[in-house]
Structure formats: C-alpha cells, structure tokens
Amino acid sequence: MLRGAVGRQQKSVSRSCYLLIFTVGGRRLAVKTDEVGGISSWGGSFPVPSRTPFVTAVVRQDRGVFPVFDLAQLLHVAVQGEQRLCLLAKQPGGAMAICIDEEMPSLHTLDAGSVHPYLKSDVPAAESFTVGFEEVPILSLARLGQA
C-alpha cells in the first residue's frame, strides 16, 4: 500500500545570487562573485598597443601583469576618487583588471527571482536587478574585452 504525501512538507528551494556591487564614475554596477578574482588598490597602469576595444594598458598586481579593461571609457565617465581600486575579473584566458571608484564595493545576496533580463546595450550585461527606482546591470565579466 502506498502512502500519500499528506502531512509532509515540501521544501521550497530558494536559489540565491551572490553579487559584488561597485561604482565606476558614480554609476552603480554589479558582478557575480564567482567572476571576481579580487579587489586591491590601484597602482596605476602602463599604456600598451592593442587592437582589443577598451584594452590599451596593463597593470602590475603582486607578481602578475594583467590587461586593463577601461570600463569608464565604455561608460563615458571618469573614475572617481584619489584612492581608486582594482577589480580583477576572472576570464577564460586569464584575469583582467578594471579600475573602479574608491567607494568600497559591497557584497549582496539576492533571491534569483529578483534578477531580470537587462534590455539595454550600454554595458556588457545580460541581467539586472532593481534597487528602488534604479536598475543595476549585472556585468558579464567573461565577455569583457571580446571584440
């Protein structure tokens, strides 16, 4: 004889989305934490010739040298603050550095249901979420620097 599921509680599985929220030129952006290789102080960059859009410099961090993706140029803004930060973006071919505002990034956990498609094409983002009246794009760091 089979028993029914009467009296059993079904577990609802809530998927979470873990994000790092930061600013570039005062504009709030987000990235998934699993795409971030680290945050450190910005030590300056060195210009190099490049055919990749928005990649015209390299930065030295610890023992590594990383290409710099100029997200501020893409957004048509200037990075703010004197104590700028360096966000290392994980990519299939290795990490890429992004200069961000001096405002300290923060970690946030969202329910995956609050993430929706990003319909604009101003930044390389497929998803976004809303804070008040502001739509915050979730950048796809893996797509940065791709022609």
pTM of the shown model: 0.84
List of domains in the chain: 16-143 (2.40.50.180)
pLDDT in tens, 89-140: 988 888 899 999 999 999 999 998 899 999 998 888 989 999 889 999 999 8
**Pairing relation of β-strands 27-32 and 134-139?**
parallel
* 3-state SS assignment for residue 142: helix
Q: Distance from first CA to last CA of the chain, Å, rounded? A: 63
Question: Measured on CA atoms in the order 137, 139, 144, 147, is the torsion positive or negative?
Answer: negative
Catalogue the E-assigned strands of 8-120.
16-24, 27-32, 36-41, 46-47, 57-61, 64-68, 85-89, 96-100, 106-111, 116-117
